[in-house]
């Protein structure tokens, strides 16, 4: 799928000299272009979790957080709760951690019942809400300090309701793999203080479903920045999940279901009273899946970031590949969060990590592979790692939704 090529062609759809390589990506006659499409941004920009131009976080916010953290750490030294040396190590670790999470992305996957799609969003999420739409669809909504976003899958019975009302659509687009696609902007939503831009597609393979991705900035009007983010990052990332069955197999370990690349086999099983692990091997690849009893039952998102700060940066986790860039995303599978860290080193040893928690265990997965020495690309392997499922997913979601309602 090359939806970005679609968007770039929209701006010239009314011209007579459309580029040959974009001729198959068109809009119906008379349709306006999707606003914000930028030819300088690559088709696959969404694949880089650290894509910077889309961020809605100011430098002032970043500096303020560092100053507040450093002040608190210095205060603990004065209270003799730590040494000056430890304080300096913590400050350096926090600076790395904050730089990382400031540029993290969010990935939403729907794969419950008949729904199979995903979207990638350049926001740092702090909360989520998952809802069944009166048995007519599924909706996964995410929030950060500045924005609301989500992915909704709906059957044909709600085609002309909610965001999908035909009167609200402002343009259509067509590209290979979909039977229809359209976009729109609602300048007044949620009592008028949350304008959003949305796009919806119906995939050829799922003709009775519409998938809609949306993004809105809180208490801000629609801006060129929002339009550019949707056109160049979010919309190109909307895709079905059917290819995962061709590249991977599902493994269920009690409550957790994860995927392993096809061709990998179970090599080692390790069990003890407080730790269990599995090791899979394949061509140029090794996947470790380990778990231990859940000790801290706090909010998973906070626990993930604490783990990154304390065990990856402060304690210098030996599993991190030295001098290889690290990018991260909070991944929502049917409303349940996990945390994925990616160290891609083209043509050399690369590694993908996944931090996972349910209501009983904390899991740690990491895939080590020699890029180019197996039949899978970096993105195919990362897609495999992103996918998770839980036997008690509804129970986990209900707990999150209940807390959000309070």
Return averaged pLDDT per consecutive 10 residues of the chain, 406 residues in all.
42 28 49 79 85 57 77 82 84 84 90 92 86 79 85 72 62 80 77 79 89 85 82 89 94 97 94 88 95 88 87 82 91 95 95 95 96 94 97 88 60
pLDDT at 171: 85
For residues 376 and 231, give the distance between their C-alpha atoms in angstroms, rounded to a whole number. Answer: 28
pLDDT of residue 145: 75
pLDDT of residue 17: 26
Residue 218: the pLDDT is 78
Please tell me the predicted confidence (pLDDT) of residue 21: 27
What backbone torsions phi and psi does residue 14 show, to the nearest 5 degrees? -90, -5
Distance, in Å, from the CA atom of 35 to the CA atom of 15, rounded to the nearest integer, reads 17
pLDDT score for 217: 81
Determine the pLDDT at residue 58: 57
Strands 105-110 and 327-333: parallel
The pTM score is 0.87
Q: What's residue 18's pLDDT?
A: 25
First to last CA, the chain: 41
Euclidean distance between CA atoms 322 and 344, whole angstroms: 12
CA dist., res. 406 & res. 404, Å (int): 6
């Amino acid at each position: 799928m090359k939806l970005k090529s679609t968007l770039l062609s929209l701006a010239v759809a009314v011209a007579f000299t459309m580029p040959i390589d974009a001729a198959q990506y068109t809009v119906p006659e008379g349709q306006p272009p999707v606003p914000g499409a930028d030819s300088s941004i690559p088709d696959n920009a969404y694949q880089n979790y650290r894509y910077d131009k889309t961020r809605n976080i100011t430098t002032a916010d970043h500096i303020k957080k560092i100053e507040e953290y450093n002040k608190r750490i210095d205060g603990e030294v004065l209270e003799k709760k730590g040494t000056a040396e430890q304080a300096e190590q913590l400050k350096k670790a926090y600076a790395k951690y904050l730089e990382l999470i400031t540029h993290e992305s969010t990935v939403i996957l729907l794969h419950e019942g008949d729904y199979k799609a995903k979207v990638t969003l350049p926001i740092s999420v702090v909360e989520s809400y998952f809802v069944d739409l009166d048995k007519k669809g599924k909706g996964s909504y995410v929030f950060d300090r500045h924005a609301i976003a989500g992915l909704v899958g709906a059957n044909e019975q709600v085609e002309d309701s909610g965001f999908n009302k035909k009167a609200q659509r402002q343009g259509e687009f067509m590209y290979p793999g979909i039977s229809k696609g359209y976009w729109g902007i609602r300048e007044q939503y949620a009592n008028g203080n949350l304008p959003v831009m949305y796009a919806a597609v119906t995939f050829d393979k799922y003709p009775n479903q519409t998938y809609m991705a949306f993004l809105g900035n809180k208490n801000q009007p629609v801006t060129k920045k929002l339009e550019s983010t949707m056109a160049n990052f979010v919309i190109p990332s909307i895709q079905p999940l059917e290819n995962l069955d061709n590249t991977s197999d599902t493994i269920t370990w009690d409550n957790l279901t994860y995927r392993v690349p096809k061709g990998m086999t179970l090599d080692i099983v390790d069990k003890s009273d407080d730790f269990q692990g599995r090791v899979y091997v394949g061509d140029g690849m090794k996947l470790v899946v380990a778990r231990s009893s859940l000790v801290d039952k706090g909010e998973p998102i906070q626990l993930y970031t604490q783990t990154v700060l304390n065990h990856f940066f402060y304690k210098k986790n030996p599993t991190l590949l030295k001098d290889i860039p690290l990018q991260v995303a909070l991944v929502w599978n049917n409303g349940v969060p996990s945390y994925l860290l990616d160290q891609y080193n083209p043509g050399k040893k690369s590694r993908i990590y996944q931090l996972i928690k349910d209501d009983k265990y904390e899991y740690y997965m990491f895939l080590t592979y020699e890029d180019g020495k197996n039949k899978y690309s970096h993105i195919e392997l990362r897609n495999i790692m992103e996918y998770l499922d839980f036997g008690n997913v509804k129970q986990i979601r209900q707990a999150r939704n209940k807390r959000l309602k309070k």
